[in-house]
């Protein structure tokens, strides 16, 4: 177990290192000059040169990368035009937003968490519940309804579902306010009402996938010998289905769910854009458009961290569920 964790953490660090090098290289491979966007008015070659100098963009690439990494570990001095001293973990100073990237993250990360975590709870409960029930009631009207729901969810796109929800609930019925983010600590009610449409849209699309997956898993498990054994023992249906069948059926769902939640935390660009909420995903896209290297690096790295951590969590869960899985 300890050995497993140490090994996985080491490989996680390696993965993140590779991700950071790649995104660094890709940024400088872009045909766009990051400085050009920074002085829209009265720019001359001399001024641009000075900005480049200040940002350290004239240093050799390895040196720039080393400085960036050093900033994360020990902090570094960015110069007066970029907020001066930047403490570890220093992710740099945004080229466009005039704030330290860590401050940007502190602002947008809670937004994405607030969108993804409640939506994930909703889609897991709804999707797995629906899948299990329709497996147990196979062939009934309810089952067919669930299959139709899955098909709809799998075929529709978020920007469409989101737009329809907005049209109905915000603009026609006026039940929900225009989506916005309020911190849960300031006003939980406003937090929930501002995000509820995003949760519903995400939950609808994802639960469709989970309903289909868990229905298939449950049907497969129900034909397993050990389910027949459970019935032969005289166990009542709740114990047969809930204790024996569900536990085996849920294992693959846990894997997919962990990876989905991990990648959703890395940014829900389309959701954020559809509902006009500034979260991690939109921040990343804006940074790419503006050529804002420090913000790009930070958002890419944080998404990578989510995915790496999700993978480790899935493996741990797997071992907790299935005694045949040994972590080493």
Residues that bind another protein (CB under 8 A): 224-226, 228-236, 239, 244, 247-248, 321-324
Closer to another protein by Cβ: residue 13 or 321: 321
Q: What is the closest distance, in whole angstroms, from the C-beta atom of residue 226 to another protein in the complex?
A: 4
DSSP 8-state secondary structure symbol assigned to residue 93: B
Q: What is the closest distance, in whole angstroms, from the C-beta atom of residue 227 to another protein in the complex?
A: 8
* Residue 300: other Cβ atoms inside 10 A: 23
Residue with tokens 């994802």: 206
Closer to another protein by Cβ: residue 133 or 301: 133
Among residues 158, 107, 150, which one has the least CA distance to residue 268?
158
Q: What six digits make up the tokens of 5? A: 């964790």
Closer to another protein by Cβ: residue 54 or 224: 224
Closer to another protein by Cβ: residue 41 or 326: 326
Give Cα separations from 250 to 73, 94, 207, 223 (angstroms): 40, 43, 14, 15
Q: What is the closest distance, in whole angstroms, from the C-beta atom of residue 137 to another protein in the complex?
A: 11
Q: What is the closest distance, in whole angstroms, from the C-beta atom of residue 243 to another protein in the complex?
A: 8
Closer to another protein by Cβ: residue 5 or 236: 236
The CA distance from 107 to 280, in Å, is 9
* Residue 20: other Cβ atoms inside 10 A: 18
Closer to another protein by Cβ: residue 244 or 282: 244
The CA distance from 110 to 102, in Å, is 13
Closer to another protein by Cβ: residue 60 or 323: 323
Give Cα separations from 284 to 164, 211, 237 (angstroms): 26, 31, 49
Buried b (16+ CB within 10 A) or exposed e, 226-252: ebeebeeeebeeeebbeebbbebbbee
The CA distance from 190 to 166, in Å, is 17
Q: What is the closest distance, in whole angstroms, from the C-beta atom of residue 229 to another protein in the complex?
A: 5
Q: What is the closest distance, in whole angstroms, from the C-beta atom of residue 263 to another protein in the complex?
A: 28
Closer to another protein by Cβ: residue 109 or 235: 235
Q: What is the closest distance, in whole angstroms, from the C-beta atom of residue 313 to another protein in the complex?
A: 19
The CA distance from 148 to 127, in Å, is 13
* Alpha helix positions (H), 167-279: 188-222, 225-232, 237, 246-265, 269-275
Q: What is the closest distance, in whole angstroms, from the C-beta atom of residue 255 to another protein in the complex?
A: 15
């Amino acid at each position: 177990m300890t050995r497993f964790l140490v090994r996985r953490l080491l490989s996680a660090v390696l993965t993140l290192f590779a991700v950071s090098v790649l995104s660094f290289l890709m940024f400088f491979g872009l045909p766009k000059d990051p400085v050009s966007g920074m002085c829209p008015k009265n720019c001359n070659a001399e001024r641009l040169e000075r900005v480049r100098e200040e940002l350290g963009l004239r240093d050799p690439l390895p040196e720039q990368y080393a400085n960036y990494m050093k900033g994360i570990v020990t902090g570094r001095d960015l110069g007066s035009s970029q907020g001066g001293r930047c403490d570890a973990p220093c992710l740099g100073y945004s080229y466009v937003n005039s704030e330290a990237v860590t401050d940007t993250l502190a602002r947008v990360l809670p937004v994405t968490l607030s969108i993804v975590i409640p939506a994930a709870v909703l889609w897991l409960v709804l999707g797995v519940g629906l899948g299990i029930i329709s497996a147990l009631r196979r062939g009934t009207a309810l089952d067919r309804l669930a299959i139709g729901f899955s098909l709809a969810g799998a075929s529709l796109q978020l920007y469409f579902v989101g737009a329809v929800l907005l049209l109905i609930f915000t603009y026609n019925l006026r039940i929900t306010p225009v989506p916005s983010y309020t911190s849960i600590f300031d006003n939980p009610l406003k937090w929930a009402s501002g995000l509820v449409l995003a949760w519903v849209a995400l939950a609808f699309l994802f639960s469709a996938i989970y309903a289909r997956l868990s229905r298939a898993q449950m049907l497969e498990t129900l034909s397993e010998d050990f389910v027949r054994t459970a019935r032969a023992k005289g166990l009542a249906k709740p114990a047969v289905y809930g204790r024996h069948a569900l536990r085996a059926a849920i294992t693959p769902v846990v894997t997919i769910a962990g990876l989905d939640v991990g990648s959703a935390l890395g940014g829900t660009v389309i959701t954020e854009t559809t509902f006009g909420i500034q979260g991690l995903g939109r921040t990343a896209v804006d940074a790419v458009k503006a050529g804002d290297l420090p913000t790009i690096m930070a958002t890419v790295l944080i998404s990578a961290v989510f995915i790496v951590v999700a993978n480790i969590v899935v493996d741990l869960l797997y071992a907790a569920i299935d005694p045949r899985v040994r972590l080493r």
